[in-house]
């Protein structure tokens, strides 16, 4: 080891020692020392075309692995470009760290180059945000960021690194290197007495329901919810989207909520996606809240008052496992209620299988996703990303896949192309599919070049109706069909955009041509765009009664 080390050397060696070697980045003045230092390490730097894409790629990496994705961007405008993307990761409880360069500390308040209040900008969309101030201890800052990102309710963390902290040198023996323990916090278990109390409460309910948090939107989390169902005979669902009880992936969800008499919130905040515990929940429905964050338990108590039957601080996954362990042979829910609720969640109109377009040269969204499901069923390890409004909502409703990622509680769109590339870094064999509308595609179409350059193939299925369709339908609903404005797009050949950027492109105007387009896209081994001309159809809403 050299006798002295730069702050940049300490940062990259800290990441390398901890096994965080996949870095999503875009270069810039403030972080060039990090790029230089990385040459001497095993770090793989994957550089993109827009800073927000680094966050979305790290987001996908974090969701699929459970380990924090690492994004590096430069300070000032680079940081500003990245910050907005953190909102998506925050809503989906994704562990990730955004490391941004920063103006030199001795220039703060003096109008330094690209000086910006970066920590203040990032604070509302992260679990924690701060600026490093000590070169010798900058490795401890990195470890702290990773620890916070993965502890309790996972989420994004921001660390600003001033250029002078990165460029300064310190004696090697003065460096404070983090230990393995510095990167993790022990999980907060659900104690046996608390688990037993919850099991006893659930046993008193006639129609209990478990609602899981976005952090469970993984293969592991979905398996946990299924095992809760199997052990307790209580229906369980996953609340990970912004459309509340109209969530297209949960069938007749509102009907289940309306009849439930007790709801266990497994890490799920009592927020707008649950109507803050109001209707359609019955006024006498009782709630149990398990949450890593005590402040959110306090909030649930304010919302529900005496109808909050029990609240306890516990991490989501350990809490679920504890309920399974303590509830075996102690809770046997009503099998008729369980079957009925599960049927509601799985409810999809039989007519959807036969839906066809009424417009020549365009497909109904159901035709697209009934075809795509065949490919997902062939490869259980496939990764599916659904991003956007009405078209993707059809996808979320029809497609079944345990490795599914959506734009989530934040309600933001546009992340899917970089997320698909980030997913390919993790899943190197099975197909990666991203479905999105044409409006969504426009956010990060340049990242196709990134995926081509980095050899990260995926298939993007773009539903092109030449419209911001979600906004169009909102305007029709709220203001009338003659007062739509600002929703028009061109029927652009997005497939040709893909080929121009080095990828593979397909244009589909007839349902019978879609399977062949998917087959050719898979065979190409390139990032591929299947541009499907679709009817402009509102998103599905499934209701009973």
Topology agreement, domain 192-346 and domain 350-533: yes
Strand spans (E) along 427-527: 432-437, 459-464, 504-508
Task: Identify the CA nearest to 71 among candidates 124, 111, 126.
Answer: 126
What pLDDT score was predicted for residue 407? 87
Report whether CATH 3.40.50.300 matches the domain 350-533.
no
Which of helix, strand or coil describes residue 162?
A: strand
How far from 458 is each of 63, 329, 369, 524, CA to CA, in Å? 17, 45, 17, 10
* pLDDT tens, residue by residue, 37-83: 999 899 999 999 999 999 999 999 999 999 999 999 999 999 999 99
CA separation for the pair 411, 242 (Å, rounded): 6
How far from 446 is each of 280, 411, 532, CA to CA, in Å? 43, 22, 19
* pLDDT tens, residue by residue, 256-303: 999 999 999 999 999 999 999 999 999 999 999 999 999 999 999 999
Question: Is the sign of the CA dihedral 382, 388, 369, 421 positive or negative?
Answer: negative
Pairing verdict, β 528-533 and 504-508: parallel
The tokens describing 224, both together, are 């946990």
Domain boundaries, the chain: 4-183, 192-346, 350-533
The tokens describing 148, both together, are 């916070």
- The H or E element spanning position 324 is helix 316-327
Q: Kindly tell me the burial class for residue 303, based on how many C-beta atoms sit within 10 Å of its own C-beta (0-12, 13-18, 19 or more).
A: middle
Task: Identify the CA nearest to 530 among candidates 455, 414, 424, 441.
Answer: 441
Nearest 5 degrees, angle CA 147-CA 153-CA 157?
Answer: 50
Q: Are 270 and 287 in contact (CB under 8 A)?
A: yes
pLDDT, one tens digit for every residue, the chain (545 residues) = 789 999 999 999 999 999 999 999 999 999 999 999 999 899 999 999 999 999 999 999 999 999 999 999 999 999 999 999 999 999 999 999 999 999 988 877 888 787 889 999 999 999 999 999 999 999 999 999 999 999 999 999 999 999 999 999 999 999 999 999 999 999 999 999 999 999 999 999 999 999 999 999 999 999 999 999 999 999 999 999 999 899 889 999 999 999 999 999 999 999 999 999 999 999 999 999 999 999 999 999 999 999 999 999 999 999 999 999 999 877 677 899 999 999 999 999 999 999 999 999 999 999 999 999 999 999 999 999 999 889 999 999 999 999 999 988 998 899 999 999 999 999 999 999 999 999 999 999 999 999 999 999 999 999 999 998 888 888 888 999 889 888 899 999 999 999 999 999 999 999 999 999 999 999 999 999 999 999 999 888 877 65
- Sheet of 504-508, strands arranged across: 404-406, 383-387, 432-437, 459-464, 528-533, 504-508
CA separation for the pair 311, 290 (Å, rounded): 6
Domain at 192-346, CATH from 3.60.20.10, 3.40.50.970, 3.40.50.1220, 3.30.230.10 = 3.40.50.1220
In this structure, CATH architecture of domain 4-183 = 3-Layer(aba) Sandwich (3.40)
What pLDDT score was predicted for residue 401? 93
How far from 80 is each of 19, 89, 450, CA to CA, in Å? 28, 16, 21
């Amino acid at each position: 080891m050299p006798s002295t080390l730069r702050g940049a050397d300490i940062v990259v060696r800290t990441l390398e020692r901890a096994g965080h070697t996949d870095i999503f980045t875009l270069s810039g003045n403030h972080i060039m020392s990090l790029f230089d230092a990385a040459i001497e390490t095993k770090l793989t730097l994957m550089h993109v075309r827009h800073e927000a894409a680094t966050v979305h790629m790290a987001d996908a990496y974090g969701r699929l692995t459970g380990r924090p994705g690492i994004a590096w961007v430069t300070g000032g405008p680079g940081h500003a470009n990245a910050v907005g993307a953190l909102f998506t990761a925050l809503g989906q409880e994704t562990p990730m760290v955004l490391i941004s360069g920063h103006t030199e500390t001795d220039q703060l308040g003096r109008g330094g180059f690209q000086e910006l209040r970066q920590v203040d900008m990032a604070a509302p969309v992260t679990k924690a945000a701060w600026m490093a101030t000590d070169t010798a201890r900058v490795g401890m800052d990195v470890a702290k960021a990773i620890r916070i990102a993965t502890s309790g309710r996972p989420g994004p963390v921001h660390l600003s690194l001033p250029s002078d902290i990165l460029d300064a040198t310190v004696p090697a023996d003065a460096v404070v290197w983090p230990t393995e323990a510095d990167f993790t916090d022990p999980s907060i278990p659900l104690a046996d007495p608390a688990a037993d109390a919850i099991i006893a409460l659930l046993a008193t309910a006639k129609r209990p329901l478990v609602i899981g948090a976005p952090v469970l939107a993984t293969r592991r989390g979905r398996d946990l919810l299924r095992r809760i169902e199997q052990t307790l005979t209580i229906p369980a669902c996953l609340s990970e989207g912004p459309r509340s009880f109209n969530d297209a992936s949960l069938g007749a969800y509102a009907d289940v909520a309306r009849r439930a008499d007790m709801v266990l919130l497994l890490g799920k905040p009592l927020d707008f996606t649950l109507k803050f515990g109001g209707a359609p929940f019955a006024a006498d429905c009782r709630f149990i809240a398990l949450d890593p964050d005590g402040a959110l338990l306090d909030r649930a108590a304010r919302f529900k008052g005496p109808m909050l039957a029990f609240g306890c601080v516990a991490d989501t996954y350990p809490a679920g496992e504890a309920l399974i362990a303590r509830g075996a042979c102690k809770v046997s829910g009503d099998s008729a209620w369980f079957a009925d609720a599960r049927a509601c969640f799985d409810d999809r109109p039989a007519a959807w299988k036969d839906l066809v377009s009424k417009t020549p040269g365009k497909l109904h969204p159901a035709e697209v996703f009934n075809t795509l499901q065949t490919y997902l069923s062939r490869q259980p390890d496939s990764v599916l990303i659904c991003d956007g409004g009405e078209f993707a909502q059809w996808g979320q409703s029809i497609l079944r896949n345990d490795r599914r990622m959506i734009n989530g509680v934040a309600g933001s769109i546009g992340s899917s192309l970089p997320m698909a590339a980030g997913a390919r870094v993790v899943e190197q064999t099975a197909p990666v599919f991203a479905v999105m509308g044409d409006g969504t595609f426009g956010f990060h179409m340049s990242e196709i070049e990134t995926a081509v350059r980095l050899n990260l193939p995926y298939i993007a299925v773009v539903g092109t109706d030449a419209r911001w369709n979600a906004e169009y339908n909102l305007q029709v609903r709220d203001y009338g069909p003659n007062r739509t404005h600002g929703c028009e797009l061109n029927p652009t050949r997005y497939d040709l955009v893909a080929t121009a950027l080095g990828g593979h492109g397909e244009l589909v105007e007839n349902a019978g041509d879609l399977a062949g387009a998917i087959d050719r896209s898979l065979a190409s081994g390139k990032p591929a765009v299947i541009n499907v001309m679709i009817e402009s159809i509102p998103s599905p809403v499934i209701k009973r009664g």
